[in-house]
Structure 1
Amino acid sequence: MFQSFNPIDSIKTPFIFLTGKGGVGKTSTACATAVALADSGKKVLLISTDPASNLQDVFGIELTNEPTSVQSVENLFASNLDPETSARVYRESVVGPYRGILPDSVVATMEEQLSGACTVEIAAFDEFSGLLTHTEILNQYDHVIFDTAPTGHTLRLLQLPTAWNGFLEESTHGASCLGPLSGLADKKDLYSKTVDVLSNASKTTLILVTRPDVSSLIEADRASGELKEIGIKNQLLIVNGLLQSYLEEDEISGAFYHRQRNALKEIPENLKQTVIYSLPFVSYSLTGVENLRYLFKQYSVPSSDMVHENDMIYLPRLSDLINDFSATGTKLIFTMGKGGVGKTSVASAIAVGLVEKGHRVHLTTTDPAAHLDYQFQSDQLNKNLTISSISPKEEVENYKADVIANAGKELDEEGLAYLEEDLNSPCTEEIAVFRAFADVVAKSEDEIVVIDTAPTGHTLLLLDAAQSYSKEIARSTGEVPESVKKLLPQIKNQEETSVVIVTLAEATPVLEASRLQEDLRRADIFPKWWVINQSLYATNTKDPVLSGKARSEQQWIQEVHEKLAGNCALIPWFDEEKIGYSKIKDYIN
């Protein structure tokens, strides 16, 4: 379908960046690319800037921010930049001078403003900017590969002149992720040179990594467009995890194959203009140098590595989770997790399961209304189930308009440009959508409300701060509606509210879900259940490739079950998409 990716033929630039949503295989692709280039005689430095990096696990060596030689691969060096540590150091450099001068409550709010994803990303950018502009690096290595590229939003922020003129020291506008640039004025020239390197097609190649599924393709398309806007146009796309063939006698195998092919028919037009490569769906774990070398050789795992019945881990099913919520009288249920793990499907299944238990349920989601129409089709809904859909795009536009109306009139042209870009941050959508969620909950009485996707702990803490401190001092998120003020304490009440974390049995989704849980705990929210979704481990597939993949899921199922989750439910990968009320019930049968 697409030509196989071979970095020796495809990569000609010294700098290589990989980007894509969590779980698409950025790290394994970056590692295999680094090994292949080093094996070809090139001297390669591989750097991870991912907070959930498992680079050390892939190579089986301890890594720091200093390049370390990778055993058994001549010419390959690796380092692990820890943006979380960098963010803590950076945060203290900004906040430290105010300790003992400003009230403790204000200092605490400043710390939270600098605790979001934007700060971590900019701290990572700060780390590798020196590498991109350091002539000794260029002289020492033929290729420098970065696992995880900055987003277009971050790079646009860094390009805005307002970010460097003291605007942040004075602004009291209502933006959502305010503060990450407030201590970087002395880095303007360095960052300008870095962005120039990124946009130079003779120096940098951007690799967009996606899975052959609709949500991953949409995210790749968004990232591609954002980065093209700021001049990073030397892009290529890798469709990772493409099943090459299937067993006709195996229903799981056939459904898996055809679902991937159907998703690829929906590739966005922008991505069709990009050179597209593919990498195969592999059954073995992409750890260890030899396995990484196999990736570009279309290697399949032997059938002897399949999952055997006597090795199986048996976990509760989704019906057990639903029984728990029904018995304990939970009134508000959030499903949370990274994109592509199946939050909407799980939320829909929980809602249907509770209705079947005799409860009145309202299901609301941030997916477009057409998706819920598709999910439930024309089935006759149970009279106890009502559904609403919140449009993130509309809510964000409304929120932006409110903030700009309140704060924008006091700003000059440059200040307004910064405010508008700051409002493109991820937290803005979370806050805007949460306001809409709060309205839904406020109007609901005598029913259970199931909400697909809640804001992170960081955003909830920002909203808390907005209630506690004045906007002028705390640089808060703007006026907080009464419905939000009432909902925040309700979320922390474990007798009324439960958070369900949804993940896949893979390294990156589990690591990111773990970070999400820690984020929530900072806001005094403690998820009661985890759901491992779409598990091949829980199926009886006989396909040798899929069975090998099922085996590789085992360690992550154990990680969640034994270390991360208080309660854990396992949902098998189904051989058909569950469409319509009656089919959704299959999740709980």
Structure 2
Amino acid sequence: MLDLDQAPRYLFFTGKGGVGKTSLSCASGLALAETGKRVLIVSTDPASNLDEVLETPLAGTPTPVRGVPGLSALNIDPEAAAAAYRERMVAPYRGILPAAAIQSMEEQFSGACTVEIAAFDEFAKLLGEPASTADFDHVIFDTAPTGHTLRLLTLPSAWSGYIDSSHGGASCLGPLAGLEKQKALYAATVERLSDPARTRVVLVARADAAALREAERTRHELAELGVANLQLAINGLFYAAGNDPVALAMEQRSSAALLAMPGGLGALPRRVVPFLPRGTVGLAALRAIVAPAPAAAPEVAPATSTKLPGGLAALIDELASAGRGVVMTMGKGGVGKTTVAAAVAVALARRGHRVHLTTTDPAAHVAAAVDGEIAGLSLSRIDPTAEVAAYTEEVLSKARGALDDSALALLEEDLRSPCTEEIAVFRAFAREVDRGNDGFVVLDTAPTGHTILLLDAAEAYHREVLRTRGEMPAAVTQLLPRLRDPAFTHVLIVTLPEATPVHEAERLQGDLARAGIQPWAWVIEQSLLASGSRDPLLALRGAYEIPYIRRVADSLSPRCALIPWLAEAPVGSAGLRQLDV
């Protein structure tokens, strides 16, 4: 099913958040290990749940998976990688330079840019240095949601180009000599990514229009990187066993999405993994992905009597009473943040408020979710390319009259660094939050790891702006106080009634608390239990949801809304109104 007989040494699983990349990468690793291969699974996702799926505590070095000889796994921890990178760059100067200079260097390496390049260094070693994985026959990369993954895959060229074009001796990452040493490694990484004999990329998708659009976009961008060995995996494909309306709608929606699949994507070799009602956490569940047992659904759907939380309308009414402010949807990729953000924005506009809906997610889909004009509602997207161009021109225009040609050339080099994108996007994020003074701003945010890095960037951002002679807008200085003000910012944590999304969202709530931000409510999306389906397989899945719904409603949040899986897709004004109940 996963076409592992001729698997190359390196396998990548990528796709839209929530499509099952971790499940399929772990199932593939397990299957290969059980044929006697030595396999390493690597997560490059800042919000990794590899530990949970494999039921083994992991670290930044290969750890044997319990109960599976030959299978090991590791998580690339961006923060730990950044700390090690920072010490590697600063250590040679300790005892030589004054303490103030050492402190300045340490501050220079504290930004989000250092986190990114340090995490990429760890990834590049595993792919570009065969000796680092010589103990393994296969290395499987469980990559982050698509926007982050594509940035990761394009970094070798971005950083190599930056090294080639910089001559000033220093950068936002410190001495360029440190980067120059990595140049050969980055070149080897690019070469291996594009070698079809050694690397295969599996585009994972659901039979869902948005997931297939994302897979097609990924296919195009990987082709531009020279990556040609691609396969498509359709995960969780469901077939109705009777005439239950929800089951029939699910099957029809999947069929329609597959029929409308872009031609280039449809031409790829394809593998299909069926719908599994009991989740994909644990070795037994992973084995069921590789070799599903014959259908054993109960003839009668299991009955449940658990009391369910109410819908979204009550939360929206309470939000509307504030009259203005910021609403942010946050959570693991693929849990329905965009749908919830669009539904809240449309509902607030229908209640007569002025609303702006925007996103910081690189794989933004808010316009597709709303699908048309609605009175009082405006839409936008934070476009990194446009923001970088605007910020660069602003800094250079102010510097041209104050710097000589040599200094201006050094500044232009510095602005070509990938750090500039972090600054530019952060400014745009702060600008959107500022609009909450005059109405409602609904922010569909990026998947969890990226969002936390964004919120954590304020102090590092300040230092970076001062270094590049930029200015600190008032919106940025006021950002963190606004995010911490529960009367102004309402964070909705969005999850699915499943183990991994709930546990990941619980960790997110802890991260936000440490940043001084208290989530306002939780929203549980796409509940089959709440759908009322009596299809045996779907009802079995509904019963599986109960402990996760109870965990959220009883222990994690004073406010909770439960949204059923909807037979009519929640797209467009009419479709989104189904959530306002």
- TM-score of the pair, normalised by structure 1: 0.79
Would you say the 8 A contact 1:334–1:450 is kept in 2? Answer: yes
| Partner deviation per Cα, 1:437-480 (whole Å, 9 max, x = no partner) | 257446x3xx44434437834334435655x557343x58x444
| SS at 2:523 equivalent | strand
Aligned to 1:55: 50
* Whole-angstrom CA distance in 1 between matches of 2:62 and 2:104: 41
Partner of 1:39: 34
Identical residues among aligned pairs (%):
33
Cα gap change, 1:392/1:514 in structure 2, threshold over 3 Å: closer, same or farther? Answer: same
> Which position in structure 2 is the counterpart of 1:296?
290
The amino acid of 1:568's aligned partner reads C
Deviation at 1:518? Answer: 5.0
Aligned residues: 556
Structure 1 counterpart of 2:566, which letter?
Answer: F
Give the secondary-structure state (helix, strand or coil) at the position aligned to 2:200. strand
1:251 to 245, 248, 253: 245
Offset of residue 286 of structure 1: 2.1
1:524 equivalent in alignment to 2:516: yes
Q: Distance in 2 between matches of 1:80 and 1:562?
A: 33
1:23, distance to aligned residue in structure 2 (A):
1.6
Q: How far off its partner does 1:66 sit?
A: 5.0
Letter in 1 for 2:389: K
Alpha carbons 1:121, 1:154 under 8 Å: kept: no
- Give, in angstroms, the shift of residue 223 of structure 1: 3.1
Q: Is the 8 A contact 2:199 2:229 kept in 1?
A: yes
Q: Distance in 2 between matches of 1:401 and 1:501?
A: 32
The structure-2 alpha-carbon separation of the partners of 1:479 and 1:396, relative to structure 1 and needing over 3 Å to count, comes to farther
Q: Which runs of 5+ in 2 are unaligned?
A: 401-405
Q: What are the superposed Cα offsets for residues 95-116 of structure 1, whole Å, 9 maximum, x if unpaired?
A: 6769941597995574233575
Native 8 Å contact 1:458 1:519 kept in 2 = no
Specify whether residues 436 and 219 from structure 1 end up closer, same or farther in structure 2 by C-alpha distance, changes over 3 A only.
farther
Residue equivalent to 2:378: 388
Contact 2:371 2:571 in 1 (8 A): yes
Cα distance in 1 for residues equivalent to 2:104 and 2:313: 44
- Counterpart residue number, 2:155: 157
Q: Find the aligned partners of 1:305 and 1:119 in 2 and give their Cα distance.
A: 54
Residue type matched to 1:151 in 2? T
Structure 2 residue aligned with 1:80: 74
Q: Which residue of the partner structure matches residue 2 of structure 2?
A: 6
Q: What CA deviation, in whole Å up to 9, does each residue of 1:521-551 have, x standing for no partner?
A: 4543322112111121322212222223333
Q: Separation in 1 of the partners of 2:551 and 2:99? A: 42
8 Å contact 2:240–2:248 — kept in the other structure?
Answer: yes
Match of 2:269 among 275, 294, 298: 275
Tell me the residue number matched to 1:170. 170
SS in 2 for 1:537: helix
Query: Does 455-464 or 229-238 show the bigger shift?
Result: 455-464
Per-residue CA distance 1:21-72 (angstroms, 9 max, x = gap): 3321112111221232233343433333434333333343444455455455
Q: 1:107, 1:213 → 2: CA distance?
A: 46
- Structure 2 CA distance for partners of 1:281 and 1:291, relative to 1, 3 Å: same
What is the SS of the residue equivalent to 1:46?
strand
CA distance in 1, matches of 2:175, 2:250: 42
Hey, what's the Cα distance between the residues in 2 that align with 1:77 and 1:548? 31
Structure 2: distance between partners of 1:414 and 1:59:
48
Per mean C-alpha deviation after superposition, the further-off stretch among 227-236 and 576-585 is 576-585
User: Are positions 1:318 and 2:304 aligned together?
Assistant: no
Q: Aligned equivalents of 2:277 and 2:288: distance in 1?
A: 11
TM-score, normalised relative to structure 2: 0.80
Instruction: Give, in whole Å, the separation in 1 of the partners of 2:511 and 2:550.
Output: 22
SS of 2:181's equivalent in the other structure is: helix
Deviation at 1:119, TM superposition (A): 4.4
Residues of 1 paired with 2:233 and 2:33: CA distance? 20
Write the mapping of 1:29-428 to structure 2, written as runs, cut at 5 A.
Answer: 29-65=24-60, 67-70=62-65, 73-74=68-69, 76-84=70-78, 85-94=80-89, 100-102=99-101, 110-114=109-113, 118-119=116-117, 121-126=119-124, 128-129=126-127, 132-134=129-131, 137-138=133-134, 140-148=135-143, 151-159=149-157, 160-164=159-163, 170-171=170-171, 183-243=178-238, 245-299=239-293, 300=295, 302-303=297-298, 308-310=303-305, 312=306, 314-327=308-321, 331-354=325-348, 360-366=353-359, 371=368, 374=371, 386-393=376-383, 396-404=385-393, 406-407=395-396, 419-420=415-416, 422=418, 427=422
**Structure 2 vs 1, CA of residues 247 and 472 (structure 1 numbering), >3 Å: closer, same or farther?**
same
Structure 2 CA distance for aligned equivalents of residues 164 and 484 of structure 1: 30
Say if 1:501 and 1:531, in contact at 8 Å, map to a contact too: yes
Q: Which moved more, 1:558-567 or 1:17-26?
A: 558-567
Secondary structure, in 3 states, of the residue corresponding to 2:540?
helix
Relative to structure 1, the CA distance from residue 417 to residue 17 in structure 2 (aligned partners, 3 Å threshold; closer, same or farther) is farther
Residue type of the alignment partner of 1:35 = L
Q: 1:420 to 1:214 in 2, by over 3 A?
A: farther
| Structure 1, unaligned runs of 5 or more | 173-177
Could you tell me how far apart the structure 2 residues matched to 1:549 and 1:182 are? Answer: 55
**TM-superposition CA deviations, 1:390-415 (whole Å, max 9, x none):** 1444x742542441563498799999
| Structure 1 residues 289 and 218: alpha-carbon distance in aligned structure 2, compared to 1, 3 A threshold | same
1:557 to 1:197, Cα distance in 2 relative to 1, 3 A = same
What is the Cα deviation at residue 212 of structure 1?
A: 1.9
Once the two structures are superposed, what CA deviation does each residue of 1:111-153 show, in whole Å capped at 9, x if it has no partner? 233575x3464154155247x5118x44x44323222278343
CA deviation after TM superposition for structure 1 residue 303, in Å: 2.3
Q: How far has the Cα of 1:186 moved from its partner? A: 3.2
Tell me, in whole angstroms, the C-alpha distance in 1 between the residues paired with 2:194 and 2:73.
24
SS at match of 1:222: helix
Distance 1:134 1:369 in 2: 44
Pair 238,437 (structure 1): closer, same or farther in 2 beyond 3 Å:
same
Quick one: distance in 1 between partners of 2:525 and 2:44?
27
SS of corresponding position for 1:111: coil
